[in-house]
Amino acid sequence: MNQAELSRPSVTTLFKNQGVYNGLLAVLIIITSFIHPDLFWLRTLLVYIIAVAAHGGATSQPAILFKQGGLAIITLILSFIF
């Protein structure tokens, strides 16, 4: 990307949103792995991933729900079965 495109408000907003998503994802992974490794925190992480994917699907492309949240949806369902 060139400098002009990087300075567009829409692009900077996208980068900020991606940063928030990745930051919260990292915090939840640390919590579920090291601080409170139990099913509640795992499911919280999965619901967060699905919610962000649903938001992306509603505001951008519907396929994002399954591309970004597909594995989280399957894992969440399986966490209630097993």
Residue 68: its H or E element:
helix 64-81
Q: What is the pLDDT of residue 75?
A: 93
Residue type, 56: G
Instruction: Note whether 42 and 78 are within 8 A (CB).
Output: no
Residues 6 or more apart whose CB falls under 8 angstroms from that of 69 comprise: 49, 50, 52, 53, 54, 57
Low-confidence ranges of the chain (pLDDT < 50): none
Helix pair 9-30, 39-59: axis angle to 10 deg: 170
Q: Is the pTM of this model over 0.75?
A: no
Write down the pLDDT at residue 80: 95
